[in-house]
Structure 1
Amino acid sequence: MKINLLRFTLQVILLVGLLPYASLAQETDPVLENLIEKGLEKSHSININELDAEQAQVDQKLAKSVFLPKISLSGSYTRLNDDISFDDDTQKLLKATQKLLIKEAAGIPFNTAFPENIPLQEINNLQNKDILKSSVDVDWVLFSGFEATNALKAAKHKEASLHYAGMAEKDRIILKIIETYDKLALVNASEKVLSASEDYLKDQEHFVKKAIANGLATPISRKRIELAQQQLAARQLEYSHNKSLLIEVLHQLTGEDKKVLGSLNPSLTGISSNNLAPEKRHEVKALEEAEKATEYKAKMEKSQFIPKVALKGHYEFLEDDLSLFDPKWYAAVGVKWNLFDGGQARLNSQKTELEARKYREQIEEAEEMIALSIVKAENAYEASLQNSRIAKKEVELASATFELVNKQHKNDLASITEVLDALKDLERANFQLQESYFRQRRAATTLLHSKGLLNY
Structure 2
Amino acid sequence: MNLKKVILNSIIITLIGISPTVISAQELDPILNDLIHKGLQKNHTIKSNRIESEQAKVDQQMAKSVFLPRITFSGSYTRLNDDITFDDDTKALLIETQKLIIKDAIGLPFNSPFPEDIPLQEAANLQDKNILKSSVDLDWVLFSGFEASHALKASKHKESSLHYVGLAEADKIALQIIETYDKLALVKASKKVLTTTENYLNEQTFYVKKAIKNGLATPISRKKIELAQQQLKAKQIDYEHKTTLLIEVLHQLTGEPKANLRLLSPELQLFAFNAASDTKKRNEIKALEEAEKATNYKAKMEKSNFIPKVALKGHYEFIEDNLSLLDPKWFIGAGIKWHVFDGNSSRLKSKKTRLESEKLKEQIDDANEKIALSITKAQLTYEAAIENTKVVEKEIELAQETYNLVNQQYKNNLASINEVLDALNDVEKANFKLQESFYNERRAVTELLHAKGILTY
TM-score, length basis structure 1: 0.97
Aligned to 1:355: 356
1:80·1:129 contact (CA, 8 Å) conserved in 2? yes
> What does residue range 363-402 of structure 1 map to in structure 2 within 5 Å?
363-402=364-403
Q: Which amino acid aligns with 1:4?
A: V
Unaligned residue ranges in structure 2 (runs of 5+): none
Match in the other structure for 1:452: 453
- Displacement after TM superposition at 1:10 (Å): 2.3
Q: Give the aligned partner of residue 198 of structure 1.
A: 198
Separation in structure 1 between the aligned mates of residue 270 and residue 315 of structure 2, nearest angstrom: 73
Q: Which runs of structure 2 are paired with 1:429-444 in the superposition (5 Å)?
A: 429-444=430-445
User: CA deviation digits over 1:125-178, x for unaligned, max 9?
Assistant: 111111111110000000000000000100110111111001000000100001
Q: Percent of pairs identical after alignment?
A: 63
- Answer yes or no: is the 8 Å Cα contact 1:185–1:267 preserved in 2: yes
Deviation of 1:194 after TM superposition, in Å, equals: 1.1
Decide whether the 8 Å contact of 2:11 with 2:197 is kept in 1.
Answer: no
Which residue does 2:112 correspond to in 1? 112
- CA deviations 1:334-384 (Å, max 9, x no partner) are 001101111111111011001000000000110011011101111100110
Contact 2:160–2:290 (CA<8 Å) still a contact in 1?
yes
Kept in 2, the 8 Å contact 1:272–1:444? The answer is no
More off after superposition, 95-104 vs 336-345: 95-104
Report matched runs for 1:105-144 at 5 Å: 105-144=105-144
Amino acid at match of 1:174: A
Shift of 1:209: 2.4
Q: Aligned in 2, Cα 1:25/1:359: closer, same or farther, shift over 3 Å?
A: closer
Instruction: Please give the alpha-carbon distance, in whole angstroms, between the structure 2 residues aligned to 1:25 and 1:168.
Output: 19
The residue aligned with 2:317 is: 316
For 2:93, the equivalent position in structure 1 comes to 93
AA paired with 1:10?
I
- TM-fit CA distance, 1:111: 2.5
1:51 and 1:123 mapped to 2: Cα distance? 65
In structure 2, the partner of 1:51 is 51
* Dislocated runs of 4+, deviation >6 Å: none
Q: What are the residue-to-residue correspondences of 1:33-432 with 2, within 5 Å? A: 33-274=33-274, 275-432=276-433
Q: Is the 8 A contact 2:14 2:196 kept in 1?
A: no
2: distance between equivalents of 1:49 and 1:26? 26
- Distance in 1 between residues matched to 2:272 and 2:103, nearest whole Å: 111
Q: Which amino acid aligns with 2:336?
A: V
Q: Is the 8 A contact 2:151 2:297 kept in 1?
A: yes
Tell me if the contact between 1:250 and 1:256 (Cα under 8 Å) persists in the aligned partners.
yes
Distance 1:357 1:234, change over 3 A: same
Equivalent position amino acid for 1:234 in 2: A
Alpha-carbon shift at residue 269 of structure 1 (Å)? 1.2
In 1, Cα distance between the equivalents of 2:454 and 2:6? 46
Change (3 A) 1:26 1:318: closer
The 1-side partners of 2:264 and 2:392 are apart by 27
Superposed CA deviations along residues 239-296 of structure 1, whole A, max 9, x for unmatched, are 1111001001111111111111011110111234223211000000000000000000
Report the Cα offset of residue 215 of structure 1. Answer: 2.0
Listed one character per residue, the Cα deviations across residues 290-313 of structure 1 (whole Å, up to 9, x for unaligned) are: 000000000001000000000000
CA–CA separation in structure 2 for the residues paired with 1:57 and 1:237: 53
Question: Do the aligned partners of 2:296 and 2:357 also contact (CA within 8 Å) in 1?
Answer: yes
Report the Cα offset of residue 212 of structure 1: 2.0
RMSD: 1.3
CA distance in 1, matches of 2:98, 2:116: 14
What secondary structure sits across from 1:271 in the alignment?
strand
* SS of corresponding position for 1:296: helix
| Mapped contact 1:59–1:155 kept (Cα < 8 A) | yes
Amino acid at match of 2:39: G
3-state SS of paired residue (1:72): strand
CA contact (8 A) 2:14 2:192 kept: no
Match of 1:16 in 2: 18
The answer to whether the Cα contact below 8 Å between 1:273 and 1:447 also exists between their aligned partners in 2 is no
Secondary structure of the 2:91 match is helix
- Secondary structure in 2 aligned to 1:388? helix
SS in 2 for 1:332: strand
Normalising by structure 2, report the TM-score. 0.97
Q: Distance in 1 between matches of 2:100 and 2:351?
A: 72
C-alpha distance after superposition, 1:204-232 (max 9, x if no partner): 22222232232211121111111101110
Shift of 1:26: 8.0
